[in-house]
Amino acid sequence: MYKTLALSCLLIATLPVQAIEPVMYSAISPALASPINAETNATYANDTLDLYHPMAGTDLTLRRREAGLADGQTVRGVSRGVSRGVSRGVSRGVSRGVSRGVSRGVSRGVSRGVSRGVSRGVSRGVSRGVSRGVSRGVSRGVSRGVSRGVSRGEALTPLALPALIAPLAPQHTSFSSTAQPTLYWYTSEAYNGEFEFTLNQQGKVEPILELTIGLPPNADTQTAGMHQISLADYDIKLQPNMEYEWFISIVPDETERSSDLIASATLKYIAPTEQLKQALATTATQQTYQSYAVNGFWYDAIDALSKQIAAHPEDNTLRQQRAALLKQVNMPKVAAFDL
């Protein structure tokens, strides 16, 4: 027996090494072993579905980032208004009080006697000017600050910030079979402001795409739910085998960027594998997302499935399948949107 084992090891050790295409996980759901049909489609509605299979050798380092405020936005208008009002009021009051006090004191002092007038005028003018300036400045600053702070706070924050902003992506870097993927993200509540989108390429200092996404036409809020951006709309093409990180952000205050809500994920573009090509060749168009998912191409899978949902919004089975896919990548709160 030991001689046979040794001989086997020797034969294995002398086999030539060949460069091979990355293989996918072989734990394919039984339903995919046969052509996809209505019965198979029903199988995937189960929320325990194990459909997405990362490619073998995928780096599973956690890269996804989610954001949000659990209790919504705190209205800061009043406190900032008071603070700025007092500061500006005191500064302006002191400056104007001193200026006017000195001027009047000198003027009166001259008429009473140049020597005594100048001396007393300057002294009294400065003293009264500072005293009155501070008093009036604080009073007016607080009054105006509260008024403007309340007014601006109400005008700028009629809606709370979303409790959750999340990219529809696995926690690790996943793949796209197209150089111009469509990227999706989720917001838990409606929001009446803009989104900022940024796309960074590994090794480059400056973003390759940076833009502001305004409110939809004829709408005064960003709706709760799924949002998307297509890189093709901006003529952006990803380089193969290069890692990219994309960000979706909400900026509550342009003057205090530390309060930004930032969600992000990473992706790579690689050409379709032969296994994927074969699977797509035998799969109905409306079910290609299943082939993408089982072969590790997350971004193609979520895009194809989301497009099917947009085309058939009344089909709850499709929504259940997307929810199952999202649960697989540890996004139960996002999945709940489709259930």
Chain segment 65-100, per-residue pLDDT in tens: 999 865 444 333 333 443 444 445 545 554 555 456
Q: Which residues pair with 210 in a beta bridge?
A: 198
Residue 82 identity: V
* Degrees to nearest 5, angle at CA 70 with 67 and 74: 100
Average model confidence (pLDDT) for the chain? 74
312-330: average pLDDT: 95
Residue 330 identity: N
- Evaluate if pTM is beyond 0.85: no
For position 219, what pLDDT does the model report? 87
For position 79, what pLDDT does the model report? 39
Tokens matching residue 248: 């979706």
For position 133, what pLDDT does the model report? 57
**Res 136 pLDDT > 80:** no
**Res 143 pLDDT > 50:** yes
105-118: average pLDDT: 53
Report domain extents, the chain.
Answer: 30-73+161-338, 77-156
Which residues, including other chains, have CB under 8 Å from residue 106's CB and lie 6 or more apart? 117, 118, 121, 122, 125
Q: Is 235 left (phi over 0), alpha (psi -120 to 50) or beta?
A: left
**Res 294 pLDDT > 60:** yes
Question: Model confidence at 9, in pLDDT bands (50, 70, 90)?
Answer: very low
What CATH code would you report for 30-73+161-338? 2.60.40.10
The mean-pLDDT minimum among 48-62, 143-157, 244-258 falls in 143-157
Tokens matching residue 185: 């993200």
Residue 232 identity: A
Question: Model confidence at 279, in pLDDT bands (50, 70, 90)?
Answer: very high
